[in-house]
Amino acid sequence: MQTLLWQRAREPFKGRWSLPGGYLAQHDTLEESIRRHLAEKVDVRELSYLEQLETLSDPKRSPQEWQLATAYLGLIPSDIDPELPGDSDWHPVDDLPPLAFDHDSIVLAGRERLRAKLSYTNLGFALAPDEFTISELRDLYAAALGHDVSATNLQRVLLRREVLEATGRQRASGPTGGRPGSLFRFRTPELEITDQFAVLRPPGPARLPVA
Amino acid sequence: MQTLLWQRAREPFKGRWSLPGGYLAQHDTLEESIRRHLAEKVDVRELSYLEQLETLSDPKRSPQEWQLATAYLGLIPSDIDPELPGDSDWHPVDDLPPLAFDHDSIVLAGRERLRAKLSYTNLGFALAPDEFTISELRDLYAAALGHDVSATNLQRVLLRREVLEATGRQRASGPTGGRPGSLFRFRTPELEITDQFAVLRPPGPARLPVA
DNA sequence: TAAGGTTTGCGACTATGGGGCGAAAACTGT
DNA sequence: ACAGTTTTCGCCCCATAGTCGCAAACCTTA
């Protein structure tokens, strides 16, 4: 699990690593603006997910001018590795350098949001390649959640929720041998909330036929 | 469940009902700004909760000028009924008049957020009076969630999560008779997430001793 | 004081969904 | 063939939520 950072060329925080971004142009949507600024760094077509996080307005967040910032969370699948310009690089999210502005808190918010949504939505499609084995998916979840994940459980849960489906194919076994894993894919490439964790549910019978 | 609206005095949308708000002053925090603008309408000390929702940036959201808006969700307990100026009033959230700008979508987002957080946090303290019976609480939850809620269940769930505690006292029975209900209160008046609904939990034994 | 109506409290049972574990299956390489 | 590795799957357990029904506690009226 990595974060894309670039090294600031100008003051303030010159030389510090920071999240990619830039100023909002007149009559632009925030999302368009984000995509535009990101496009200068990476191939934006790879962005599998983009969601607004929060708007920061502490008057002291920038040492020079008074400015607001709206933070977004963007994700790309684990199997693509876009070209990067020299001033940008991926950093493991568990070991980030000191960041400019309040970007640490933004990263934190993003991780938290991702962690939560992995639990009750089908987000995960945004992290995974088109096809994958359960073990590969488990590793992605473990990296994002920050703790071990049981492959058995992951498979059962995501299948029951009808988030995953089997492709029928299976991956050739790795160099160390072992049984080859079946390949799965996410059913839909858009965010769907797996309700059913609304805890004070509406009255009535069950939702999902066990099939 | 009501929403505070005020009738716009100026164009655009003159005469239309809209959510309270106003422009952000230089070097202000968004939250301070919200509180300030709200203070012109109601007694802000009553605000039991305030949370940022989202920032809207559609260039066409205002017919005249290009402007951004950051929406907040504010809540007050059900037992207080602050004085309002003539141009403001409470409207039942299930039957709102046409709203100015994109305020419908903001209301929707707010309701959704409230609904979700009622399920997995102790928010609810923001809606309820200091002390209340389970039935009263049930009615609040039912109004906010939009569906019936079982009092039995509500009590058990919130007690197990240690969100509620009994005061020992009980309310005098109503005019129609009936057994008087015990009074409860929320343990803490700040937002606490009742984790344990993170669905792919870290490995290990249970969290809450059943006591 | 007894009866009837109303509301709350509570225990028992059920349903659902997640977690853990171990054996069997399916590979590779020696 | 056999050992080592990884995946798959069935089985059982437990935690938590949902449902139901009866008993308890209170009022009013007879």
- A115 interfaces chain B, CB cutoff of 8 Å: yes
pLDDT exceeds cutoff 50 at A209: no
pLDDT reported for residue A8: 93
pLDDT mean across residues, chain A: 90
Residues of B in contact with A31 (CB under 8 A): 57
pLDDT exceeds cutoff 70 at A97: yes
- B199 interfaces chain A, CB cutoff of 8 Å: yes
Cβ partners under 8 Å of residue A206, min gap 6: none
- Encoded tokens for A32: 């368009």
SS3 B87: coil
Distance between the alpha carbon (CA) of B195 and the C1' atom of D15, Å: 14
B86/chain A closest Cα distance in angstroms: 32
- Encoded tokens for B160: 């197990």
Cα dihedral B102, A197, B91, A53 in deg (nearest 10): -30
Report pLDDT digits (tens) over A183-203.
Answer: 999 999 999 988 655 556 655
Pairwise CA distance, residues B4 & B63, whole Å: 23
pLDDT reported for residue B82: 82
**Position A134: which residue type?**
I
- Cβ–Cβ below 8 Å for A119 and B200: yes
Pairwise CA distance, residues B141 & A39, whole Å: 45
Asked whether residue A170's C-beta has any atom of DNA/RNA strand D within 7 A, the reply is yes
pLDDT reported for residue A163: 95
pLDDT reported for residue B56: 98
CA A25 to chain CA centroid, Å, is 26
Report pLDDT digits (tens) over A138-162.
Answer: 999 999 999 999 999 999 999 999 9
Distance between the alpha carbon (CA) of A194 and the C1' atom of D15, Å: 20
pLDDT exceeds cutoff 50 at A54: yes
User: Which residue is closest to D23 in terms of CA–C1' distance?
Assistant: B179
Distances (CA, A) of B141 to A199, B65, B124, B137, B151: 12, 40, 8, 6, 10
Residues of A in contact with B66 (CB under 8 A): 26-27
pLDDT exceeds cutoff 80 at A206: no
pLDDT reported for residue B196: 56
- Encoded tokens for A35: 């995509």
Nucleotide minimizing C1' to CA distance for residue B194: D16
User: What burial letters (b/e) apply to B29-43, b meaning 16+ CB within 10 Å?
Assistant: bbeebbbebbeebbe
pLDDT reported for residue A195: 65
pLDDT reported for residue B84: 83
pLDDT reported for residue B53: 98
- B202 interfaces chain A, CB cutoff of 8 Å: yes
User: How many Cα atoms are found within 13 Å in the side-chain-facing hemisphere of B146?
Assistant: 11
- Encoded tokens for B170: 């009980």
- Cβ–Cβ below 8 Å for B26 and A66: yes
Chain C: bases < 7 Å from a protein Cβ:
4-12, 15-22, 25-29
pLDDT exceeds cutoff 50 at A211: no
Mean pLDDT across the stretch A18-24?
Answer: 95
Asked whether residue B153's C-beta has any atom of DNA/RNA strand D within 7 A, the reply is yes
- Encoded tokens for B54: 């989202």
pLDDT reported for residue A178: 87
Across the interface, of B52, B59, B147, the residue whose CB is closest to A54 is: B52
pLDDT reported for residue A46: 86
Contact B69, B56 (CB under 8 A): yes
pLDDT reported for residue B103: 97
In this prediction the pTM is 0.89
Is the four-CA dihedral A185, A190, A195, A197 of positive or negative sign? positive
Contact A124, A163 (CB under 8 A): yes
- A167 interfaces chain B, CB cutoff of 8 Å: no
Tokens 């403001």 belong to residue: B88
Query: Binning pLDDT at 50, 70 and 90, where does residue A210 land?
Result: very low
3-class SS letters over chain A? CEEEEEECCCCCCCCCEECCCCCCCCCCCHHHHHHHHHHCCCCHHHCCEEEEEEEECCCCCCCCCCCCEEEEEEECCCCCCCCCCCCEEEEECCCCCCECCCHHHHHHHHHHHHHHHHHHECCCCCCCCCCECHHHHHHHHHHHHCCCCCHHHHHHHHHHCCCEEEEEEECCCCCCCCCCCEEEEECCCCCCECCCCCCCCCCCCCCCCCC
Per-residue pLDDT 10s for chain B (211 aa) are 999 999 999 889 999 999 999 999 999 999 999 999 999 888 888 899 999 999 999 999 999 899 999 999 999 999 988 888 888 999 999 999 999 999 999 999 999 999 999 999 999 999 999 999 999 999 999 999 999 999 999 999 999 999 999 999 998 877 778 899 999 999 999 999 886 555 566 555 444 333 2
Mean pLDDT across the stretch A164-191?
Answer: 90
- Cβ–Cβ below 8 Å for A57 and B150: no
Pairwise CA distance, residues A129 & A154, whole Å: 17
- Cβ–Cβ below 8 Å for A57 and B120: no
User: Which residue is closest to D14 in terms of CA–C1' distance?
Assistant: B206
User: How many Cα atoms are found within 13 Å in the side-chain-facing hemisphere of A207?
Assistant: 11
- Encoded tokens for A210: 């066990």
Across the interface, of B29, B54, B145, the residue whose CB is closest to A57 is: B29
Tokens 């004085």 belong to residue: B83
A·B CB contacts under 8 A? 82
Q: What is the CA radius of gyration of chain B?
A: 20
Name the pairing type of β-strands A2-7 and A88-92: antiparallel
